[in-house]
Amino acid sequence: MGSKAQFRFSFGPWNIHEGADVFGPDVRESVPFSEKLAVYKNLGFEGVQFHDDDAVSDVDVSHDQMIKEAKEMKKALDNEGLVAEFVAPRLWEHPITADGGYTANDPKAREYALERSKKAIDIANELGTKKIVLWPAREGIYVNESKDHRLSSQRFVHALNTMLEYDKGIKILGEMKPNEPMDHAYVPTTGHFLSLAYKTVDPERVGTLIESAHAILAGLDPAIEMAFAIYHDKLWSVHLNDQNGLKFDEDRVFGAINLKRAFDQVLVLYENDFGANGEFVGLDIKAIRTQKAGEATRHLANSKEIFLLLLDVVKSLDTRKLEEYRSSRNYEDLELFIIKTLMGK
């Protein structure tokens, strides 16, 4: 199978974390950011994904101070031979965004969200990336009647337009998730987001990052979701991970729960030349709470290793046989063939 796919890998510093969950506190010491940076090269990762406040100490300092810190971060990246993949405004922790940002009922919250998004763009420019990722965590509802849902769609597009107009060079990647923290998220899937992208002032600059677990939480198949976005020329990044059923967002090791589902994602990425335009294979994976400090980066190394092993399987796939099963409509045996291929039989 010929492919122009190029795979280089990224993750976010939040993937090396203290292990707290909603029922219990930290179980590992915080790793200083400089030590996290060293992990990237050691594990063979090139790209760093940032939230705005991963890149600078605080976005609510003076603008000059924020830019100064962003410049220092760029130097630190250069020193390690790393690049910034994207910046994502973290709109879900500030008390003012308790009821959402772009779609909040409170105009002050909406203004805060727009201003903070512009700051994320300023930071991205300093770090040398054009990609802004939006995970609209609190855009949604707990109580159905609490908001005007039609107006929320309009406000969402207004937020996208504000960013697109603020900087004519940036690209926005929506990372959609159907629930958690909200009961019902607005714009719950990639398809919803792309339909809004086409309503913006510059649809060419609005695309998507698909996270495997988020698709699964929506009851969807990540590989099919990725192929859909690729058809639109809008799969600009991924967050590979895995997920055990429909519960909270688990961010498990890629392929560790459902190897065939992971294989299908690698197959779609490979067949469709993912990475040929510099896109990263991003991971968004949390070490499980039981993992001891010091070994709490294995989830990242292991996910990359599983991806590369699956890539070998994809490359060696007997596509002639695959086509035969397709044309004879013998999908039962096609399934067995794929399972046996995965088992090396």
Residue 26 annotated to the active site: no
Task: For the beta carbon of residue 154, count every other beta carbon within 10 angstroms.
Answer: 13
Q: How far, CA to CA in Å, does 53 sit from each of 60, 90, 91, 93, 332?
A: 10, 7, 10, 11, 50
Residue 172 CB, shortest distance to ligand XUL, in Å, is 13
Contacts of 227 (CB under 8 A, 6+ apart): 268, 272
Q: Is 156 in the site for ligand XUL (CB under 6 A)?
A: no
Instruction: Name the catalytic one among 53, 54, 242, 264.
Output: 54
Candidates 126, 175, 225, 250; binder of ligand XUL (CB under 6 A) is: 175
Q: How far apart are CA 223 and CA 221, in angstroms?
A: 6
Q: Is 177 in the site for ligand XUL (CB under 6 A)?
A: yes
Q: How far apart are CA 222 and CA 212, in angstroms?
A: 5
Q: Which does 249 bind (CB under 5 to 8 A by kind): ligand XUL, Mn ion, none?
A: ligand XUL
Q: How far apart are CA 323 and CA 319, in angstroms?
A: 6
For residue 208, report the phi and psi dihedrals to the nearest 5 degrees: -145, 155
Q: Which two tokens stand for residue 165?
A: 């107009």
Name the residue whose CB lies closest to ligand XUL.
Answer: 135
Q: How far apart are CA 142 and CA 107, in angstroms?
A: 19
Q: 11 or 112: whose CB is closer to Mn ion?
A: 11
Candidates 211, 242, 249, 264; binder of Mn ion (CB under 5 A) is: 211
Q: Is 239 in the site for Mn ion (CB under 5 A)?
A: yes
Candidates 239, 252, 261, 304; binder of ligand XUL (CB under 6 A) is: 239
Site for Mn ion in 27-56 (CB under 5 A): none
Residue 54 annotated to the active site: yes
Q: Is 192 in the site for ligand XUL (CB under 6 A)?
A: no
Residue 152 CB, shortest distance to ligand XUL, in Å, is 20
Q: Is 284 in the site for Mn ion (CB under 5 A)?
A: yes
Q: Is 138 in the site for ligand XUL (CB under 6 A)?
A: no
Q: Is 264 in the site for ligand XUL (CB under 6 A)?
A: no
Q: Is 69 in the site for ligand XUL (CB under 6 A)?
A: no
Q: How far apart are CA 160 and CA 314, in angstroms?
A: 37
Q: 211 or 264: whose CB is closer to ligand XUL?
A: 211
Q: Which does 116 bind (CB under 5 to 8 A by kind): ligand XUL, Mn ion, none?
A: none
Candidates 69, 225, 249, 264; binder of ligand XUL (CB under 6 A) is: 249
Contacts of 81 (CB under 8 A, 6+ apart): 41, 46
What are the DSSP E strand ranges found in the chain?
9-11, 47-51, 83-88, 131-134, 140-141, 171-174, 184-185, 206-211, 235-240, 281-283
Contact yes or no for 208/194 (Cβ under 8 A): yes
Q: 69 or 249: whose CB is closer to ligand XUL?
A: 249
What residue ranges bind ligand XUL (CB under 6 A)?
A: 88, 133, 135, 175, 177, 211, 239, 249, 284
Active site residues: 51, 54
